[in-house]
Amino acid sequence: MDQKKIGMFLKEFRKQKGITQEGLAEALSVSNRSVSRWKTGSNMPDLAVLIELADYYEVEIGEILDGERKSKKMEKELEETVLKVADYSNEERARKTRRMHALFLAGVAAFILYMLLDLTGLADSGCTEAIASFALGLDFGLMIVGVLYTSLSISKIRAFKMRLLQKR
């Protein structure tokens, strides 16, 4: 944030309105010295005064903080970009949610299989013992993956994996 640029921006608006520093100070209930400090960029108005300035000059607070006027075309492009990013974010979230549902359903199915084998007594003998052990291990593994996914640790793991792959 360039305070001098903001100060010049505020000075331009004041001159466009055709008022003096004293007139602006009086309108905003601040001292003349405060307005002078804003103009030189040595000080910034506090948030309450920024809001009043934005209303007084009929501009957005963001424009004041940027120190420049945004064109309508720029605003439209920015709005379109924000909407695209929001859509992409929603699609990404929906895809992750579907993955989580699939993982949890597979975990529940594996646990049900294990419980059926255990309750019928088949989990202790031969081939079905291996199936029961596999189902229990799969269920436990899917729970760990689910915890990683929901704690956002998976994104850190993915980033680490990508760094490793790029080093090769």
Q: What's 53's domain CATH number? A: 1.10.260.40
Q: Is the pTM of this model over 0.75?
A: no
Domain match, 35 and 104 both? no
Give percent helix, percent strand, percent coil of the chain, each to the nearest 5. Answer: 85, 0, 15
- Summarised one tens digit per residue, pLDDT across range 100-109 is 899 899 999 9
- Is 84 found in the same domain as 29? no
Q: Domain span at residue 27?
A: 3-66
Are 84 and 44 found together in one domain? no
The residue with greater pLDDT, 146 or 155, is 146
- The token duo for 93 is 């979230």
* Residue 82, pLDDT above cutoff 80: no
Asked if residue 13 has pLDDT above 90, the reply is no
What confidence score (pLDDT) does residue 134 get?
92
Domain count, the chain: 2
- pLDDT, residue 135, reads 93
Q: DSSP H helical segments within 18-152, as ranges? A: 21-28, 32-40, 47-57, 61-66, 72-119, 126-150
**C-alpha count within 13 angstroms, C-beta hemisphere, residue 96:** 15
* 162 and 80 fall within a common domain: yes
Examine the domain organization and report whether 49 and 94 are in the same domain.
no
Q: What is the mean pLDDT of residues 56-77?
A: 77
Residues 104 and 150 both lie in one domain: yes
Q: Residue 127: is its pLDDT beyond 80? A: yes
Tell me which H or E stretch contains 64: helix 61-66
Q: Which position has the higher pLDDT, 112 or 79? A: 112
Residue 104: what residue type? F
Cα–Cα distance, 78 to 161 (Å, whole number): 33
What is the residue whose two structure tokens read 């990683």? 148
